[in-house]
A and B are shown apart, each in its own frame.
Chain A
Amino acid sequence: MGKRKLMLGNEAIARGLMENGCVMATSYPGTPASEILSSFVSLQKEGSDSRHAQWAVNEKVAFEIAYAGSMTGLRSAVSMKQVGLNVASDPLMSAAYLGVKGGFLVVSADDPGPHSSQTEQDSRLMAMMAKIPVLDPDSPMQAKEMVAMAFELSETFEIPVMLRPTTRVCHARQDILLGDIQPCERKVDFQKDPARWAATPKFRFHLHQELEKKLKALSFYQKTAPIRLNVETTAQKAVIVSGVAAAHTQEIMKDLNIWDVIPLYQVLQPYPLHAEFISHLIDTYDKILVIEETTGVIEMQLADRHSVKGKLTNSVPMVGELLPEIIQKIVCEFAGVYTEKIDLPSEPGIRATLCAGCPHRASFFAIKKAAPKGIYTSDIGCYTLGLNLGAVDTVLCMGAAVSQAAGFYHAYKNEKKRPDIVATIGDSTFFHAGVPALIDAVVQKVRFVLVILDNRTTAMTGNQPTPASGLGAGGESLDSVDIKTLVEGCGVKFCKEGDPYNPEEFIPLVKEAVKYSREHGPAVVISRHPCLIDRLWKDRSEQPYIQVEVDDTCDGCAFCINHFECPALIFNEADENVSIDPILCSGCGVCIHVCPKKSIKEIG
């Protein structure tokens, strides 16, 4: 009998990888997938055998590294968030044709809601597009079980297999029975086969035919077939669920006392949907309700549409997370059961904000001073919250701050009055997708300023290392790439570094960059100050704590609140003045330079 342990869904997936002999695990951090690789690394440290675990520069690179591992016969896995799969979609589509040797898992975590993403896209549709099978877990426990299932499936059919957890699986914790961690005993053995591994279009045609045969066989594979969750009845209606909607629906049907009345089926492998299951549903039931997140992937495979209710019939919402209260309403209507009104009133929460003392805030303040009427393109990371300061006008996807800045420049370049353009991008995002865009901007002589917000870490997702850190996923020492050298290597002629905590030097530096960019082309400022919540730097920080107070010359103009937006600055409505919250204040002292009345002063 194993031990029961409280585990985050992502930890459970990592445990599944360890228990099933996964030797290579790669990833690029992104919510809700980030903890899969870090948990794998922690588990690996407990064990004795050596496996390869790494953060890669982006998801495409992560995918290709792990895939090569599989080509040598080793079990391997790559994990990412759903928009990361867009970046890795090029190797994904091709790997589906070439197939695998050692079991190969693509873990793509979706974020219905969305809670922490640009889109609500359904990775299962990407699996369908790539023509690979996808498994859809309902809980941390099932996610762990599905890792075993997926490796077996992958090796049986020599095909990449996707595991698609959602936020509610990744970030749920559950008590889980632990299995043994299998030692890695496989031999590395890359067998050359250029007709396959380097297939030309002619061979690709044959590989495509093979792939279709695999898919056909997969739709008859019994081990991943849908399961009936409750007992047999003679009902004419059935409910089909997958993913976390399965977990919600079970609980709801029990609470509503319709557990023994309406058959409930859980689909484990939404694509390809099992052929016999499709015929069984269509032949047996008059009405079929399909509940799944976020696109109707199962639903659209039920070819006879007369009896099917779901997203395509507007019975299930197309948009947003399927919260249990929404599912309850849908199931009640379908079952013909009364339910009380169960909507949560949408009370506005407190908006997210950059931490007190965050160096990004100081950078944004300087940018607004240097180019007050500029166009501010930005990117994916904590600094997206520069929105609150009016210093972020655009956020599209990783790396787009640089290319969109170029697009704005080209759009405005023939106008009499050209706006200044200042792009902001984080250090990790710059490495991920900013470099090719910067090379393009150099070649095209794009007149803009790029401020690289170098806080020495990938902050938003939990402080993973960047290529500049010189550290591996387990904290081991690696080589590093210097950002300034890289920028200069891209051909940028103006590249200067500064510390945003020194506004007296940093604001003039950004002004100088703006001036340069108006006449010459790209200017890069590397704004360098470590993230305050990164443990790595917390202990090493030599930054003095500057204790500040607001004196009685404060007239309550609220300039600091509106333009600096530090959570430690509190506006007192009654007294019409500002004070400092001593618990939140990090002692950065930047606000001293922000107050136009000089009312914020250092104490002592």
Chain B
Amino acid sequence: MRQQIVISGVGGQGVIFVTRLLAEAAIIKGFSVFTSETHGMAQRGGTVLSHLKVGSFSSPLIRPFKADGLLALKSESLAQHGSYLKSDAWAVVNCSNHVTPKIDWSVFTVDADNLAMKIKNPKSVNLVLLGYTMAVISESFENKFFCSIDDVKTVLENQLADKKEMLGASIEAIETGYYHRNSKLV
């Protein structure tokens, strides 16, 4: 198993939180993991970029044209960080309209802002997008995502064991994204 995923957004959206969640899920699956994060001044509403490398790697950074996937919490991210992607990579973008990809990437879009507002948890855009990603990627490709929604839920349960309310809200957000896709298919 070797997967490289880029996660991007702006400061305050919870990019680091999602990255960490996925890294913990990788450990549950028994994989080695590396992440690289943006801290400090750039976190103040500026562009924030995380690299996640699952499997055997020595460097914490992803090189251009090497990433298997991109989670974009802002629609601008695809243009901004698309160069990290391989030609057959996937990208899941948070935006209200359809995005035409530059090359042959598989691009999926979802209005995660709107879904998060609907469940009255506007700060959960990151988890809604993650849930949606896990649904569409595992549905559309074989072995394209290193972990399942259940692995992520397990991580959340471990991390938020003593914060029941937050745990409930987080699970709701991730399921909202996950089943949004499924409800469309049905």
Contacts and interface: CB of A to CB of B under 8 A. Distances in A.
A52 interface: no
Nearest to A229: B58
Interface in A167-220: 168-169, 171-175
A172 B36 contact: yes
Nearest to A254: B58
Interface string B57-69: 1111111110000
Contacts, number: 134
B38 A4 contact: no
Contacts of B12: 355
B: contact size bracket: 35 or more
Contacts of B83: 344-345
A567 to B, nearest CB: 6
B23 interface: yes
Contact of B35 (A172, A252, A342, A582): A172
Nearest to A382: B44
Contacts of A583: 113, 117, 122-123
A31 B38 CA distance: 10
A6 interface: yes
Q: Which of A8, A251, A354 has the most CB of B within 10 A?
A: A251
A449 to B, nearest CB: 25
B156 interface: no
Contacts of B79: 347
A12 B123 CA distance: 30
A254 to B, nearest CB: 8
A: contact size bracket: 35 or more
Nearest to A323: B61
Interface in A85-121: 115-116
B161 interface: no
B108 interface: no
Contact of B80 (A174, A248, A349, A461): A349
B61 A168 contact: yes
A373 interface: no
A352 B65 contact: no
Given A139-B60, A247-B59, A583-B123, 14 more contacts: A31-B39, A115-B42, A116-B41, A244-B59, A252-B59, A323-B63, A324-B61, A352-B41, A352-B43, A352-B44, A353-B45, A355-B12, A382-B44, A583-B113
Interface of B: 10-12, 19-20, 23-24, 26-27, 32-47, 57-65, 74, 76, 79-81, 83-84, 113, 117, 122-123
19 contacts: A4-B27, A6-B33, A115-B40, A139-B34, A168-B61, A169-B60, A172-B34, A172-B35, A174-B33, A174-B34, A250-B58, A324-B61, A325-B63, A340-B65, A342-B64, A345-B83, A352-B42, A355-B12, A461-B40
